[in-house]
Amino acid sequence: MGQPAASPAIAALRERIARLEGGPARNRATLPFGVPTIDKVLPGGGLALGALHEVAGGRNGAIDGAAAALFAAGIAARTKGKVLWCVTRPDLFAPALAQAGLLPGRVVYVEAGDEASVLACFEEGLRHGGLGAVLAELARLSMTASRRLQLAAEASGAIGIAIRRWRRQTEATDFGQPTAAVTRWRVSALPSRPLPVPGIGRARWRLELIRVRAGESADFEVEACDDKGRLALFSDLADRSLKARNGPVRAIG
């Protein structure tokens, strides 16, 4: 005798659990980086839209923290629509964000007095449904709060980016705690690209994909976002043959 058909409520619950576990990631819209080495390790070939992602600086310093913010700005720049950026302190440098492709006219800044207010604004922005991306700078992010943010992002289809910033070193340990974020990234600044003449070349970063739901971690070395929010291969790597790049170079984007 066959099994009775599942009720609509049970079917919906199973579908929701599958979403939380990353089951239908292949059917979710994504935002590709345009760098095949990075996109191929991400389910669906890019960052999942309608999802929460985390970004942090590699060594918890101001330089790496700025690199993490610019990495997030480059992602937001490649979305469509307005971008909401929630902060507790007004220390963002708009010209630098514009160099990463995120023009001032697209960004709505929300300055909240504390992290609880930032979280509330973050969730409300994700639920709004009319924004291309919502970013928030947070020191701590609990599993409960991240689940609410993930569900809000799923409902609206917007991409949410939690930029983890710490005022005290002791707060950095919170980044190792589990959250509901679909991906978790760490960004570290590297020496800029050398130029044939005196000057400062394009910034370079080490990207560490620490966690990706339904995928494997990896790390990449890239040139920083250009004025369209796009990452790039090192010039000396881009000119090499595919065979040479697949040899001694390890997971370089």
Q: Residue 59's pLDDT is what?
A: 77
Q: Domain map of the chain by residue range?
A: 48-189+198-245
Q: Residue 155's pLDDT is what?
A: 94
Q: Residue 199's pLDDT is what?
A: 63
| Interval 13-33: pLDDT, tens | 766 665 555 444 445 799 999
Query: For the ranges 38-52, 77-91, 128-142, 196-210, which has the lowest average pLDDT?
Result: 196-210
Element (H, E) at 54: strand 52-57
Percentage of the chain exceeding pLDDT 90 = 65
Percentage of the chain exceeding pLDDT 70 = 79
Please give the residue that has the higher pLDDT: either 136 or 176: 136
What does the mean pLDDT of the chain come to? 84
Please give the residue that has the higher pLDDT: either 196 or 133: 133
| Interval 69-85: pLDDT, tens | 999 999 999 999 999 99
pLDDT band at 55 (very low <50, low <70, confident <90, very high): very high
What kind of fold does domain 48-189+198-245 have according to CATH?
Rossmann fold (3.40.50)
Residue 6 has pLDDT above 60, yes or no: no
